[in-house]
Structure formats: C-alpha cells, structure tokens
Structure 1
C-alpha cells in the first residue's frame, strides 16, 4: 500500500504518518526501488494501536516509551501500566480544570447584568476616556 492508501485506511494524514516514522513512533517503512514507502497490514495495525493509546490520553512521547518497554517483554508490564495510569491522571486533571472553567462561565452567565456587563462597560469607558485625553 502507498502512504495515501494507508492514510485513507487509518484516517490519518500523510504528513502525520511521515512524522510518526521520523520520530520513531512507527518502525521504518520499507521502500521500493523508487524510494516510495510500501506499507502492509502490519503498519495499518500498528497505526491503529498508536491511535488507541493516543485516544486513552497518552502523549506521543509516552507512546514511544510504551512501545520501547513492550519490546523488552513481560517484565515491563507494570511500567507500561504506570504510563497508562499517568495518562489517565492527566485526563482527570484536565477534566477538573474544565469543570472549574464551566463553573466560572456559569457564574458569569447567572450574574452577567450585575458583574460582567458593568465591568465591560467600565473597561470600555476607561479606554474611551484615555483616548479622548490623548487626542
């Protein structure tokens, strides 16, 4: 398969596939005599595995670490599980931060006329006064 075919099959861009290979996330892809990458189903499966890890919140750096550890065998299973747990904790922190943002947005919506709207006008009027003085 060509890179375009694999990109279509995995719903990834060709640039992303090249990048994954360049950073060592994907194994080197064999090339034909013309230097064109020739993928097989192994690469499609590998890319889908990467996507699965990424969807669980793992960074590309941690996915590289995960794959390197997996190459070392079962003795690294706990380390790999720790990487997944770390990614999960990062997701939980992001969710908590987003919840705080939602609460702030709720507060601003509920108190718009008494808090945000007067602050907006005060800020804009201050700018208008400064502009008038500068002229």
Structure 2
C-alpha cells in the first residue's frame, strides 16, 4: 500500500510517517522500481505499536531506545520497563502541574472582582496604547 493508504489506515499524516522513517523510528520502508514506498500489514502493526507507546507518555527518542532494546531480546526487559516507568512519572508530573493550574484558575475566578479585575485595569490603564500607524 502507498503512504497515503497507510496514513489513512493509521490516522497519521504522510509527513509524520516520512519523519518517523527518517529518524529511525520506523524500519526502512521498501520501495518499488519507481522509488515509491510500499507498506504492508507489518507497518500498520508497527505504527500502531508506536502510537501505543506515545499514548503512554513516551517520547520519540525513548520509543526508539525501547525498540532497539527489544531487538536485543529478553536481557533488556528491565531497561524497557524503566523507560515506561519514566514516561509514567513524567505524565504524573504533568497531571500535578495541570491540577495546580486548575486550582489557580479557580482562585482567580472566585476572586475576580476583588483581585484580578482591578489588577487588569491597572495594567491596561498604566500603559498608553499607541495609535494605529497608517500604512
């Protein structure tokens, strides 16, 4: 199948698929005599596997490492598990940061009239807005 066909089947852009191949995330894709990439079902499975690792929070660099480690066999099981644990920890940190941001937004909403409204007016009024420049 062509890159457009596999892009549609995997819900990925053709640019992303080319990028994944270029950085070594995807194995080299065979090409026909005209130089056109020809994907098969293996690539669909491979791309869906990459998407699953990305969904777990892994960076592309860590996914490349994970796949290379997997190619080395069972001796790398703990190292692969460590990569997954690191990705999970980063997700937990992001969730924590987002929870703090929600708390701050709640505080600002609940105290808008007493705090943020007057601060907004003071900032806007303290700086003269330049007149539009004619072009």
Same fold (TM over 0.5): yes
Q: How many residues align?
A: 130
Alpha-carbon offset, residue 108 of structure 1: 0.2
Residue in structure 1 matched with residue 9 of structure 2 by the alignment: 9
Q: What root-mean-square deviation, in Å, do the aligned CA atoms of Structure 1 and Structure 2 show?
A: 1.1
* SS in structure 1 at match of 2:107: helix
Residue in structure 1 matched with residue 43 of structure 2 by the alignment: 43
Alpha-carbon offset, residue 123 of structure 1: 1.1
Alpha-carbon offset, residue 125 of structure 1: 1.8
Alpha-carbon offset, residue 126 of structure 1: 1.2
What does the per-residue CA deviation read over 1:88-122, in whole Å, with 9 as the maximum and x for residues that have no partner?
Answer: 00000000000110000000000000000000111
* SS in structure 2 at match of 1:25: coil
What does the per-residue CA deviation read over 1:49-79, in whole Å, with 9 as the maximum and x for residues that have no partner?
Answer: 0000000000000000000000000000000
Residue in structure 1 matched with residue 89 of structure 2 by the alignment: 89
Alpha-carbon offset, residue 81 of structure 1: 0.3
Q: Take 1:50 and 1:29, find their aligned partners in 2: how far apart are those partners? A: 16
Query: Structure 1 length normalisation: TM-score?
Result: 0.94
Query: Structure 2 length normalisation: TM-score?
Result: 0.94
Residue in structure 2 matched with residue 121 of structure 1 by the alignment: 121
Q: Take 2:57 and 2:89, find their aligned partners in 1: how far apart are those partners? A: 9
Structure 2 alignment gaps of length 5 or more: 131-135
Residue in structure 2 matched with residue 73 of structure 1 by the alignment: 73
More helix by percentage: 1
* SS in structure 1 at match of 2:30: coil
Residue in structure 2 matched with residue 58 of structure 1 by the alignment: 58
